[in-house]
Amino acid sequence: MSRLQIHDVSVVYPGINGGEQVRALSDINFTIEPGEFVVALGASGCGKTTLLSLMAGFISPTEGYLTLGDSQIDGLPRVACGVDLADQIDGPGKERGVVFQKHALLPWLNVIENTEFGLKLQGVGKAERRQRAASFLKLVGLEDFHRHPVYQLSGGMQQRVGIARALTNDPKMLLLDEPLGALDALTREVLQELLLDVWKETQKMMFFITHSVEEALFMASRLIIMSPRPGRITHEFELDFNERFLECRDARKVKSMPEFIEMREQVLSIIHGDEAAGGLH
């Protein structure tokens, strides 16, 4: 497996109707090593989704470039109108799976058809893809909803279908944009542990966006904290609470360790300091 590198990347969104340009990311240098679980934390609008879209290949950087192993990932040509399918080099690929913040399930397919969709695209036979999709649906607790239309599911259930779909496709790298945002506390903990297990077992590279400090500390082997206008990475921490959990299998115990609590206070003060300095609009 190969590392993902971001070299001096800036992203500037053009102003709409002659409005002001938005510098969403500024001079990002950053590497995700094989087997790393990277979590990004930061206030709304600080460029987390933009960073993820770059890695996924959905947008191209205004300055700088990205590499995955030896190959440059340039992304789609900027899509102004939404669906201008101009020719593309590299861009997204099935080695980088994505769990989206919203709107990415296909309403004309039911739950299991959505989950197996990637395998279907790759020509995997029906029996095999059904079986693999079913096993991941069971993992996310949706084994009783195979034939449900996705637009009738609750927000949290839709997110779980999104996670199962990405896992079923078995990518080398998983990019998750607030995947657990709409879930209740209990399901959230179950899925946190599930994702850690999957990570441990498959050694996938993970890039995980969240708004929850506790979740960030619990999941990350490396935590990056971002600040807005312009979007930058301001802090980085190497963490091992996820490893500790995988040893003792007791999330509550890990989350009440003195080191964990100390770390949480430190991160919270960074975030609050940022908000005081940057000023929320």
Partner 1 sequence: MSATKALDAKAAISPAGSPQQSSPTLLQRLKKIFSAGPVMPGESYGAPGRGKSAAISLVTASALLLLWFVTTTAGWIDPMFLPSPVAVLARFWEVLTEGFANATLLEHTGWSMMRVFGAFALALVTAVPIGILMGVNRVARGLFDPIIEFYRPLPPLAYLPLVIIWLGIGEVSKVVLIYMSIFAPMALSARAGVRSVAIEQIHAAYSMGASRWQVIRHIILKSALPEILTGMRIGIGFGWTTLVAAEMVAAQAGLGFMVLNAAEFLVTDVVIMGIVVIGIIAYLFDMLMRYAERKLVPWKGK
Interface residue list for partner 1 (CB under 8 A)? 56-58, 79, 81-86, 88, 91-94, 96-98, 100, 102-108, 117-118, 121-122, 149, 151-152, 165, 169, 171
Binding site for Mg ion (CB under 5 A): 49
Shortest Å, Cβ 248 to ligand ATP: 32
Cα Dmax for the chain: 56
Least distance between partner 1 and beta carbon 101 (Å): 8
Least distance CB 97 / ligand ATP (angstroms):
18
CB of 232 to Mg ion, least distance (A): 16
99 binds ligand ATP (CB under 6 A): no
Q: List the x/- string, 18-57, binding to ligand ATP by CB under 6 A.
A: ----x-x-----------------x-xxxxxxx-------
* Contacts with ligand ATP, 168-197, as mask; x by CB under 6 A: ------------------------------
Q: How many residues bind ligand ATP (CB under 6 A)?
A: 11
If you count them, how many residues does the chain have?
A: 281
Among ligand ATP, partner 1, Mg ion, none, what binds residue 50 when CB lies within 5 to 8 Å by partner kind?
A: ligand ATP
Q: Which residues contact 152 (CB under 8 A, 6 or more apart)?
A: none
> In whole angstroms, how close is the CB of 159 to partner 1 at the nearest point?
13
Q: From CA 120, how far away is CA 105, in angstroms rounded?
A: 15
Residue ranges that bind ligand ATP, judged by CB under 6 A: 13, 22, 24, 42, 44-50
